Structure 1
């Protein structure tokens, strides 16, 4: 029998693979952009997002197990899915459009969706809400970094 954590992890992995749909030209564009001087942790960003996604999937698992298969739980799973899709869209959409402004908007949208998700699960599990904290803490940093890069690279904003 397939366990719920396997399905949640599988869906998360499938959606995350969509983030790899970036063009080489988009990657070159992004690589040449100026970064803020304080951005000394850029090499850690993939690891940070991996931790954030694992925590999000774990949160979703806890919520699913609290009332598996109910319509309300399915709606909450839809919020988790939307959150991951918006988050994963950041890189390929920003690279395709070559627009840091679009990246900033997507980053801010992810934060708002995460806040909505946290509110939707608040009464279900404190642990599930706490597992969204890495997203709620990191997303504004990433969004601010993108916004700051748009100020440093106005022609690519």
Structure 2
């Protein structure tokens, strides 16, 4: 049997890797968009998300180990997975549809789900909930940045 930490880590890696599937022509669209002047940390964003996904995977592992295989745990694992899918979908969906408004919606969906997941996990483990805090802090920043870019690029809504 595969150890839970390996299964959770492997799924996290595979889903996160899926976010890199977009067309170069779509990336050209994103590069030409005007960005807020305060967005000086953009080169760090991939590293930030790598840390956030790692924290999420560790959080999921802690939750799994608290009650392995229970219905409640499986439901929470599905919420972790949906949250990661939403997060990973942000870039390809925004790029393919060339819509900052859709990107903002996807980002806001992640914000809401992360808060709900954090509150649900808090009842099981304070450490697992604390590991979700980076997501619940960073995701609104990314969502606000996308929303702000709508103002700066009004034709790209």
Q: Specify the TM-score bucket, using the shorter chain as the normaliser.
A: over 0.9
TM-score between the two structures when normalised by the length of structure 1: 0.98
1:1-157 map, 5 Å: 1-157=1-157
| Separation in 2, partners of 1:62, 1:76 | 11
TM-score between the two structures when normalised by the length of structure 2: 0.98
Deviation digits for residues 70-109 of structure 1 (CA, Å, limit 9, x no counterpart)? 1110000000000000000000000000000011001000
RMSD: 0.7
| Separation in 1, partners of 2:36, 2:123 | 40
Question: Deviation of residue 56 (structure 1)?
Answer: 0.5
SS of residue in 2 equivalent to 1:13:
helix
SS of residue in 2 equivalent to 1:20:
coil
| Separation in 1, partners of 2:40, 2:86 | 25
Following TM superposition, the consecutive aligned residue runs of length 4 or more in structure 1 with deviations greater than 4 angstroms are: none
Equivalenced residue count is: 157
Unaligned runs of 5+ in 2: none
SS of residue in 2 equivalent to 1:88:
helix
Deviation digits for residues 118-151 of structure 1 (CA, Å, limit 9, x no counterpart)? 1111111000000000001101110000011111
Question: Deviation of residue 14 (structure 1)?
Answer: 1.1
